[in-house]
Chain A
Amino acid sequence: MRTPSSKNRRLLQGNEAIVEGALTAGCRFFAGYPITPASEISEMLSVRLPQVNGTFIQMEDEIASMGAVIGASLAGIKSMTATSGPGFSLLQENLGFACIAEVPCVVVDVMRGGPSTGLPTNPSQGDVMQARWGTHGDHPIIVLAVSTVLDCFDITVQAFNLSEAYRVPVIILSDEMVAHTRETVALPPVDRVEIIDRVSPSMPSEWYVPYEGNSRGVPTMAAFGEGYRHHVTGLVHDVRGFPTQRADEIQAFISRLFQKITQGFYEIQITKSFMMDDAEVAVIAYGSVARSARRAMSDAREQGIKAGLLQLITLFPFPRRSVESVLRQCRAVLVPEMNMGQISREVKRVNHFACQVEKYNRIDGELIRPDEISGKLAKL
């Protein structure tokens, strides 16, 4: 954790830190629709974006917000929207467009209890699988989870960087608890933050092949109006961007979409380990639950339990390597979640070892407390 220097110390809530992260990353367009518990992000960006020649617009719904975000990104501007469960469901259609047309953009889902209107003011982690598979069809996507206010800043910057580097939508999963927790954080000076921008073409326009991947499988991206006239479509397309029904071209296209992410696993799959070196039992957690788990670790250690924590920042592509090494090392793993076990199922999927995987779930709109986790650990 960064040591707060007095100069940069600020009292922020999670939603505010996402705003700071987005602006630092170069986000200059936001379209959104009011929804609890994400509204502060819209409100703050409506103040901040016009100050930096950016644009904020409140659209008629989340479908429209996602459309506008994609449009602005196609015109060359880094763009974002933020919502919660019901709005996240609505924007899934256009999120799929961003996947197939490879339009960089960031979507923040501040999770609240569901399904439907559910529990608008309570935290939950019920949207994990929707973040991965919410839009129809086979598609790669990157899903990151924030756990603290400082995370909200750092991971939002990372979300934009990954989105620009891989031309893929990136989803940030926050929850009501992280969003509304206020804490003092030290944000890094803007010039100390690494910012990645999409690669634009430099060749003569007649040489430009808009959907031809480079060595990493990522095509260069020309903004509308820069002289590289091309076609962008939600239909499966050939390298020139035109619709195709040729099986060989379809196969090559969808494969490249996946391969560009697979090739980047080392960079994309982010996890953090706490006290894992000599751990015999471990917790695998993410989001606000990971914060409880960190406290639970020190409590468990005091009780003489050799416990460690693997915090997942990247939920998808599922950080299999890090999880497997924990499963290999430990005799038992606990996966606490504020849902019915969406990530524990993923952990079990990759458990080819003699490790006992237990889940612990709360779906009552309450945060999982450290003592609940350490209590469960003691019984493993």
Chain B
Amino acid sequence: MTKEVTKLIHKYLRHDKKFPHVWCPGCGNGIVLGALIRAIDRLGLEKDEIVLASGIGCSGRMPVYVDFNTLHTTHGRALTFATGIKLAKPSLTVITLMGDGDATAIGGNHFIHAARRNLDLTAIIINNQIYGMTGGQHSPTTPYGCYATTATYGHIEHAFSIAELAVTAGAAFVARGTVYHARLLDELIEAGIRKPGFSVVEAMSNCHVQFGRRNQIEDPVTMMKWLRDHAVATEKARKMKPDALEDKFTIGVLADLEKPIYTDEYQKVRDRAKSLARQ
């Protein structure tokens, strides 16, 4: 097992370049990065074919550590850059990596439109319910009543459910996992990349430093246990009564639809344009 991990590290990380990384001890981001690398390895994709694009925040630093074509864009805009890359070179596997504030606050508009448009992109969103890098301000997924550096008296807004938002916006594939359920996360990311069309994988994660510390769950293990105890598999949730699910969230695949892919459709546009121009 250790040998397997070492092999993956040597194959995929820019280990001689930018380490040590910027994340705090116990951060869930490393688990998501591990899941992403394992998924890519299992899919057998060439490193040259992969573009990993991120936004801004702790999650935004992830691309610098891996040996793909990597892009660290502006805050909230990863999907817009990814859209240009995918349209210019559809053969590339384009994966974006965002945080909860990145994807659903400043980048919220791009997120819902990317879901509607249906390019073959994979959006991995690490949801730790807080702005970590900037010092613990409340994000669109900070729960009502929680504390943050900009919600010192308790948060009075209501949280987005990112995966459900993606389903409503029309994403072809939507899944949610957690950094506690690491094997499931591997599978969901793999399925997301494999799926043609716009895929969203929300990874619930822990930020004990900026979120936990202000909300009486100060260590990563307690936060992991919280994720374990509040996650319900989608199949199981279907059989449960709504009030039993009140403080829970579902994990697994939430949507898997067949929709026309943008680049395929655009090729038809080109064919129509050319045949009309000839007439």
**Interface residues, chain A, with chain B CB atoms under 8 Å away:** 29, 31, 47, 50-51, 53, 55, 57, 59-61, 63-77, 79, 93-94, 97, 223-227, 229-235, 240, 242-243
What chain B residues lie within 8 Å of A67 (beta carbons)? 73-74, 77, 79-81, 83-84, 110
Q: Mask for B44-88, Cβ within 8 A of A = 1, else 0?
A: 000111010100000000011001111111100101111111111
A232-B72 contact given A67-B77, A67-B81, CB 8 Å threshold: yes
Provide the bound-state CA to CA distance between A50 and B48, in Å: 27
Are A68 and B71 within 8 A (Cβ)?
no
What chain B residues lie within 8 Å of A97 (beta carbons)? 73-74
User: In chain B between 67 and 123, which residues have their CB closer than 8 angstroms to a CB of chain A?
Assistant: 67-74, 77, 79-89, 91-92, 109-110, 113
Provide the bound-state CA to CA distance between A50 and B87, in Å: 12
Most-contacted residue by chain A among B48, B71, B110, B272 (CB, 10 A): B71
Are A73 and B84 within 8 A (Cβ)?
yes
Using A50-B274, A72-B87, A94-B77 as known contacts, list a sample of 16 further A-B pairs with CB atoms less than 8 Å apart, ordered by residue number in A: A63-B110, A65-B80, A70-B84, A71-B71, A71-B80, A71-B87, A75-B85, A79-B84, A94-B80, A230-B69, A231-B72, A232-B71, A232-B72, A233-B71, A235-B72, A242-B17
Are A240 and B72 within 8 A (Cβ)?
no
Are A61 and B89 within 8 A (Cβ)?
no
Are B87 and A29 within 8 A (Cβ)?
yes
22 pairs from A and B in contact (CB 8 Å cutoff)? A50-B272, A51-B273, A59-B80, A63-B110, A64-B83, A64-B110, A67-B79, A67-B80, A67-B81, A73-B88, A74-B81, A74-B85, A75-B88, A76-B89, A93-B74, A93-B77, A94-B80, A224-B69, A225-B48, A233-B64, A234-B72, A243-B18
Are A227 and B84 within 8 A (Cβ)?
no
Provide the bound-state CA to CA distance between A66 and B81, in Å: 8
What chain A residues lie within 8 Å of B91 (beta carbons)? 225
What chain A residues lie within 8 Å of B86 (beta carbons)? 71
A71-B81 contact given A29-B88, A60-B110, A97-B74, CB 8 Å threshold: yes
Are B71 and A74 within 8 A (Cβ)?
yes
Smallest distance from the beta carbon of B37 to chain A beta carbons, Å?
Answer: 15
Are A50 and B71 within 8 A (Cβ)?
no
Are B80 and A50 within 8 A (Cβ)?
no
Q: Say what secondary structure dominates the interface of chain A.
A: mixed
**Interface residues, chain B, with chain A CB atoms under 8 Å away:** 17-18, 47-49, 51, 53, 63-64, 67-74, 77, 79-89, 91-92, 109-110, 113, 266, 269-270, 272-274, 277
Of A29, A51, A226, A232, the contact of B277 (CB 8 Å cutoff): A51
Most-contacted residue by chain A among B49, B77, B82 (CB, 10 A): B77
What chain A residues lie within 8 Å of B81 (beta carbons)? 67-68, 70-71, 74
Are B270 and A71 within 8 A (Cβ)?
no
Of A50, A77, A226, the contact of B273 (CB 8 Å cutoff): A50
Lowest 5 A-B CB distances belong to which pairs?
A71-B84, A67-B80, A75-B88, A68-B84, A50-B273
Are B87 and A225 within 8 A (Cβ)?
no
Provide the bound-state CA to CA distance between A64 and B74, in Å: 11
Smallest distance from the beta carbon of A232 to chain B beta carbons, Å?
Answer: 5
Provide the bound-state CA to CA distance between A231 and B64, in Å: 6
Residue of B nearest to A243 (CB): B64
Provide the bound-state CA to CA distance between A67 and B81, in Å: 5
Of A51, A60, A71, A227, the contact of B88 (CB 8 Å cutoff): A71
Provide the bound-state CA to CA distance between A72 and B84, in Å: 4
Are B64 and A68 within 8 A (Cβ)?
no
Of A65, A71, A94, the contact of B85 (CB 8 Å cutoff): A71
Are B80 and A227 within 8 A (Cβ)?
no
A63-B80 contact given A229-B48, A243-B64, CB 8 Å threshold: yes
Of B72, B80, B270, the contact of A68 (CB 8 Å cutoff): B80
What chain B residues lie within 8 Å of A224 (beta carbons)? 51, 69, 71, 85, 89, 92
What chain B residues lie within 8 Å of A229 (beta carbons)? 47-48, 67-70
Provide the bound-state CA to CA distance between A244 and B17, in Å: 12
Provide the bound-state CA to CA distance between A168 and B170, in Å: 37
